[in-house]
Structure 1
Amino acid sequence: MARPNDDVAALLQEYADLVQISGGDAFKARAYEKAARAIGGHHTDVSTLDARALRDIPNVGRSIADKVAAYLTTGTMPEVEQARARIPDGVRRLMAIPTLGPKKALTLYETLGISSVPALREAIEAERLRDLKGFGPKTEENILHGIDVLQASGGRVRLAQAAETAEAVVAALTAIDGCERCTWAGSLRRMRETVGDLDILVAARRSAPFMDALTRLPHVAETLAHGTKKTSVRTTDGLQIDLRVVPPGSWGAALIYFTGSKAHNIRIRERAVRHKLKLSEYGLFHTETGRKIAARTEEDVYRRLGLPWIPPTLREDRGEVAAALRGELPVTVTDADIRGDLHTHTDLTDGLASLEDMVDAAARRGLEYYAVTDHAPDLVMQRMTDEKALAQRDAVRALDGRHRGMRLLHGTELNIDPDGGVDWDAEFLAGFDVCVASVHSHFRQSRDALTRRLVRACENPHVHIIGHPTTRILGKREPVDADLDAVFAAAARTGTALEINSHPNRLDLNDENILRAKRHGVKFAIDTDAHSVRDLEYHRFGVGTAQRGWLTTDDVINTWPLPRLLRHLDGTGTTR
């Protein structure tokens, strides 16, 4: 159930890809790519805008605005339909493979007749690509890696897409008469980075109105099952939604049961058995008498099992039950604990909104401090210069105080070069309030080289945060192959924070790496890496990931009051 903005953005991006495949004007393709990004990141629902208002969105010119306005009225964009007709379906399927560009996809189709992922893998294994111009063993290796990344996603959707759909479904079902409670459960409630099926739970005395309503929701493509206890549908974007309606008196037990994880549920059911009890989605029962002991709230059920309430993000059977029994469950960081954002961008580089718009949006979110960290000059396509950075610093200083209670910080996102160096010399870097350093290139260096590269960046006295440390992009790029324990040890030794990048395409570091890094004594920064006003909403996904890594406010530097944060930035670690 995508936003209209996302639908339009996907359509414009598809058209840009089709233009590239057909060998069309590269400038035209780039214009549509920019418009797709701008509309996807725009905070206003584009279906409420006319062509004139659409032109006010950066990178959306008159021609594209007119096409979008017509699409929102008619549901079609003739230019895209015509381009689709010229490009075989098989080529578009191949383009889903990370590392395989549109022109190579077209070459494979026209030369070898390859129109599916299995056929491509078979052709590579038979070494049929090696005689094609522009292909070779290294290209084959990259394509195979891309196929593995694509297939590893297993049809799962990213956290933000699942959350957006779940919020729409819950809002619709909550409005139905007789609904006493409604929420999502499953892996979304546990804030896993991807979601297979969406579990929705309703507490009501009659199930039929809710089961019927689910099948009639917008963007439901097909009904997979329709019953009194469970109904399943699939949306137009391929996400399966499973709805269960339970009696209000069983709400807590059902919420535990359907939140999972399977391993956590087995663990607490084993505990129930040891106490001669039986736990199901309907309640906690005495085994011999069948008498219901607890069911109405999660807290009641956990308490009768001798446990405190365990947050959903911890229910992965990673020792949370044992920690609860010892009274050692962490009080994990929450959205309300986030005081600031230390990694954001504006339209000075690759952001979509102006400095003023980003600052105003941060103030509306109630942040106490906010850092602008546009890209540094070694990322050449962003065209940053010393003069632009200094001019932006003046603009940030002038805006500081515009919103009472929010301090503005001027920073930069540096590029970690292949040897571990960064843009600008020490004297210039000393003028920034905060420096994020990230790997943006040379992702396939050797393990030793990547490890040295990241460790050296941690040891730079002007680097405060390592941005998206493993560089992964979900479904598109695997994490770099580095000795992360060595990197975590270096970060802990130098006091360099490691980022939990909240963008749902990244969620980097992930929960397992956070747990490992925490054992080394690392501090973290939960940042949005926002490139638009809308991206500032992504903090909640980073917080959920941090919770899964058992982090507390003491672990996360942007939950600290400003004076403590500034002391940390000014004199971090033993090597600074």
Structure 2
Amino acid sequence: MRANDEVAELLEEYADLIAITGGDAFKVRVYEKAARSVAGHPEDISTLDAAGLRGIPNVGKSIALKIEEYLRTGAIHQVEEMRGRIPAGVRRLTRIPTLGPRRAMLLYEELGISSVEQLAAAIEEGALHDLHGFGPKTEENLLHGIELVRTAGRRSTLGDALELAESIVAELSDVPGCERCGYAGSLRRMRDTIGDVDILATSARPADLMAAFSGLPMVEEVIASGPTKTSIRTTKGIQVDLRVVPPDDWGAALQYFTGSKAHNIRTREIAVRAGLKLSEYGLFEVADGGKSGAKIVSRTEEEVYARLGLPWIPPQLREDNGEIEAALRGELPDLVTEDDIRGDLHTHTDLSDGLASLEEMAAAAADRGYAYYAVTDHAPNLYMHRTSDEKMLAQRSRLRELDGTYRGLRLLHGTELNIDPEGGVDWPGDFLAGFDLCVASVHSHFTQPRDAMTRRLIRACENPHVHILGHPTARLIGRRPPIDADLDAVFQACARTGTAVEIDASPDRLDLAAEHIRLARRHGIVFTIDSDAHATPHLDFLRYGVGTAQRGWLSADDVLNTWPLERVRRFLSGPPD
């Protein structure tokens, strides 16, 4: 883990501890903002001196001293002191949606509840009935929130898992004797969340790989160790399994351990019908008595699929959602790739809640080789972001000055509008007409009834100045469930009004999810894949959105920001009269 992430986690924990103990709300916000700034800072903070640390937005002298203490000693003494006053479980209680720090501390002080499990038991036993502010509806919401926390606790975000897997693969690939190394499982299929991380390798010296794996810095515990498989638990609580197979078995093992289980059942059925047997060791002829006979192929996935009469099927599609049938018909999609993306159409700067300036974000976008880039800061109805008409117009003026100056990068001035409970947005039409594009998203009132929420989204799509429906279900993975809306009706409205639907690539969102992308795709609508970046490193989130789009069977032409700028502008200008 980067020093930036380690320090950000500590600052966020300190903010939580201050809130739990009833500390100053302003101080809580200061540390929350500092945590976000440190996590999003593009430089490695371990390389910065005191002046460099104070140059990070929202990091003043006091916080910089705490960061220096951590970099020097591996701890922040104020955090250690507060940890000693509050059970660790109480902080985890604050992760439950609708249960804030003060109420978490109340549960601890009044009932001795210091874990999610204790809270669930107390609700079931009726122990909360006499506590002020904990009525039946609150208890129902808490039980739902507990299930979200439990589910999230068993799985990692795609971003965390992929960063970990790539780090391990890089380390093991440098071990002498390692011939091939890669990740498999649900991570290779780019699922929204990941359980255990599966690493596969080939080597004639598996013992050396196992020893190197067990000795990695992130290893907290070696769960099990053997000659060809070792399982560890990382300091972040993620289980990682390493399997070492003979070089000749790589393709069959990669196909098998990538999964999914349902996809593998289908491929094994095809093998059986052909009088063959498919396993992680290869594709075999069947000998007398049903036992494996001579090995036919196993070295590459392509060989395995070809011998089954199938083209190679991209891992992201291997969920038994029709990919076998499409492969047999020769109708697998040519999936969108990160190289297809020509620009990013939903990003933020420090004008609203971003951490970097317009100039810094534009320069980072140009470094990625983009042809165009949209800045879409929040509109003023989200009052905490302190935007205004005047600030937006000043930003537009500056953006026009910079247009084309970063390696020819074309800059678009946009905004992310807030969809209010009735489906209205922040500005009147004459002001919205001045933007190059408008993203409209739900940021509040997440529990509206289904009919009202559906009308709300459809009305926003019907606004002629709304070009993109942003993170359409408003979910935060493991923290907030999707809104309840008739998405099929919403997608019909998007098709009718020419509104694009976003795949928000933030690993905490990945919204739309793959199953909703497949539903929307039937209506022939246009999608965008956007980073929703609030700092320059967040531009890298795009890869997660691309993986999600691939799981949704999207090709490049389905995605607005793979198009040339002229075609994008025609889409944004709407259909001809």
Distance across 2 between alignment mates of 1:126 and 1:298? 53
Q: Which secondary structure state, in structure 2, belongs to the residue aligned with residue 291 of structure 1?
A: strand
**Shift in Å, 1:127:** 4.0
**Shift in Å, 1:412:** 0.2
Does the alignment pair 1:34 with 2:33?
yes
Partner of 1:455: 458
Alignment of 1:21-420 (within 5 A): 21-153=20-152, 155-288=154-287, 290-420=293-423
Distance across 1 between alignment mates of 2:61 and 2:228? 51
Read off the aligned partner of 2:381 and give its amino acid letter: D
Distance across 2 between alignment mates of 1:116 and 1:63? 32
Read off the aligned partner of 2:102 and give its amino acid letter: K
Gapped runs of 5+ residues in structure 1?
none
CA contact (8 A) 1:438 1:468 kept: yes
CA contact (8 A) 2:515 2:552 kept: yes
Read off the aligned partner of 1:222 and give its amino acid letter: E
**Shift in Å, 1:299:** 0.8
**Shift in Å, 1:286:** 1.3
Matching residue within 503, 507, 510 for 1:500: 503
**Shift in Å, 1:111:** 1.1
C-alpha distance after superposition, 1:382-408 (max 9, x if no partner): 111110010000011011011233210
Matching residue within 547, 562, 565 for 1:562: 565
Distance across 2 between alignment mates of 1:73 and 1:282? 49
**Shift in Å, 1:154:** 5.0
The two structures have a TM-score, normalised by structure 1, of 0.97
Distance across 2 between alignment mates of 1:12 and 1:86? 17
Partner of 2:8: 9
**Shift in Å, 1:124:** 2.7
C-alpha distance after superposition, 1:332-388 (max 9, x if no partner): 100000111000000000000000000000000011110000000111111111100
Aligned residues: CA RMSD: 1.3
Q: Which secondary structure state, in structure 1, belongs to the residue aligned with residue 162 of structure 2?
A: helix
Q: Give the stretch that moved more between structures: 44-53 or 551-560.
A: 44-53
Distance across 2 between alignment mates of 1:457 and 1:521? 19
Q: Give the stretch that moved more between structures: 115-124 or 304-313.
A: 115-124
CA contact (8 A) 2:95 2:479 kept: no
CA contact (8 A) 1:485 1:516 kept: yes
Read off the aligned partner of 1:556 and give its amino acid letter: V
C-alpha distance after superposition, 1:7-63 (max 9, x if no partner): 111110010011111111222111111110001111222222232211111111111
Flag as ranges the 4+ runs of structure 1 deviating above 4 A: none
C-alpha distance after superposition, 1:300-335 (max 9, x if no partner): 111111111100100111110110010000001000
Q: Give the stretch that moved more between structures: 271-280 or 424-433.
A: 271-280
Distance across 2 between alignment mates of 1:11 and 1:481? 35
Q: Which secondary structure state, in structure 2, belongs to the residue aligned with residue 15 of structure 1?
A: helix
Matching residue within 523, 526, 530 for 1:527: 530
Distance across 2 between alignment mates of 1:215 and 1:391? 55
CA contact (8 A) 1:376 1:414 kept: yes
Q: Which secondary structure state, in structure 2, belongs to the residue aligned with residue 520 of structure 1?
A: coil
CA contact (8 A) 2:380 2:386 kept: yes
**Shift in Å, 1:89:** 3.1
Q: Which secondary structure state, in structure 2, belongs to the residue aligned with residue 448 of structure 1?
A: helix
User: What percentage of aligned pairs have identical amino acids?
Assistant: 66
**Shift in Å, 1:450:** 0.2
Q: Which secondary structure state, in structure 2, belongs to the residue aligned with residue 503 of structure 1?
A: coil
Give the total of aligned pairs.
Answer: 573
CA contact (8 A) 1:496 1:572 kept: no
Distance across 1 between alignment mates of 2:117 and 2:32? 29
Gapped runs of 5+ residues in structure 2?
none
**Shift in Å, 1:115:** 1.9
C-alpha distance after superposition, 1:125-172 (max 9, x if no partner): 444434333333333232222112112335100000001111110111
CA contact (8 A) 2:500 2:527 kept: yes
Partner of 2:542: 539
CA contact (8 A) 1:503 1:542 kept: yes
**Shift in Å, 1:90:** 3.6
CA contact (8 A) 1:494 1:572 kept: no
CA contact (8 A) 2:222 2:233 kept: yes
Does the alignment pair 1:511 with 2:511?
no
The two structures have a TM-score, normalised by structure 2, of 0.97
C-alpha distance after superposition, 1:233-292 (max 9, x if no partner): 000100011001111111111111111111111111111111111112221111127222
Q: Which secondary structure state, in structure 1, belongs to the residue aligned with residue 224 of structure 2?
A: strand
Q: Which secondary structure state, in structure 1, belongs to the residue aligned with residue 522 of structure 2?
A: helix
Q: Which secondary structure state, in structure 2, belongs to the residue aligned with residue 370 of structure 1?
A: strand
Read off the aligned partner of 1:194 and give its amino acid letter: T
Distance across 1 between alignment mates of 2:406 and 2:386? 30
Distance across 2 between alignment mates of 1:61 and 1:542? 34
CA contact (8 A) 2:498 2:574 kept: no
Partner of 1:552: 555
Q: Give the stretch that moved more between structures: 519-528 or 93-102.
A: 93-102
Q: Give the stretch that moved more between structures: 147-156 or 506-515.
A: 147-156
